[in-house]
Structure 1
Amino acid sequence: MRLLIIMKRALASLLFVLSLATCGRAQNVPARLQTGYDQLDQKLEKLISADELAVSAKEAASLDNVLFLDARESFEYDVSHLPGAINIGYDNLNLKTVKDVDKSRPVVVYCTVGYRSERAAKKLRKRGFTNVYNLYGSLYAWKLAGLPLEDANGKPTERLHTYNEKWGSFVPDSIGEKVWE
Structure 2
Amino acid sequence: MEALLILPAAAGLWLLRRALPVPGLAKPDPAWLGEAARPAAVKLLDVRDALDYEAGHIPGSINISVGRLGYVWQKGLSPDEPVLILADRRSACYRAARILKRAGFRTLYVLHDRRLGAGRAETNAAACA
Global fold match (TM > 0.5) = yes
Partner secondary structure for residue 134 of structure 1: strand
Asked if residue 53 in structure 1 is aligned to residue 25 in structure 2, the reply is yes
The answer to whether the Cα contact below 8 Å between 2:45 and 2:85 also exists between their aligned partners in 1 is yes
Structure-2-length-normalised TM-score: 0.61
Mark the CA change 1:78 to 1:57 in structure 2 (over 3 Å): closer, same or farther: farther
Structure index of larger Rg:
1
The one of 85, 88, 91 aligned to 2:64: 88
Which residue does the alignment assign to 2:107? 131
What is the alpha-carbon distance in structure 2 between the residues aligned to residue 72 and residue 90 of structure 1? 7
- What's the TM-score once normalised by structure 1's chain length? 0.46
The structure richer in helix per residue is 2
**Structure 2 gaps, min length 5:** 1-8
Three-state SS of the structure 1 residue aligned to 2:69 is coil
1: distance between equivalents of 2:94 and 2:32?
15
Pairs aligned (count): 108
Query: Partner of 1:120 in structure 2?
Result: 96
Contact 2:43 2:61 in 1 (8 A): yes
**Displacement after TM superposition at 1:80 (Å):** 0.8
Query: What is the letter of the counterpart of residue 95 of structure 2?
Result: R
State the AA in 2 paired with 1:53.
Answer: L
What amino acid maps onto 1:161 in structure 2?
R
The 3-state SS of whatever aligns with 2:101 is helix
Q: Deviations over 1:11-62 (max 9, x none)?
A: xxxxx9xx99xx7xxxxxxxxxxxxxxxxxxxxxxx6749751414606435
Corresponding residue for residue 120 of structure 2: 161
Runs of 4+ in 1 over 3 A off after TM superposition: 47-52, 59-63, 97-102, 177-181
* Unpaired stretches in structure 1, ≥5 consecutive residues: 1-15, 24-46, 144-158, 163-176
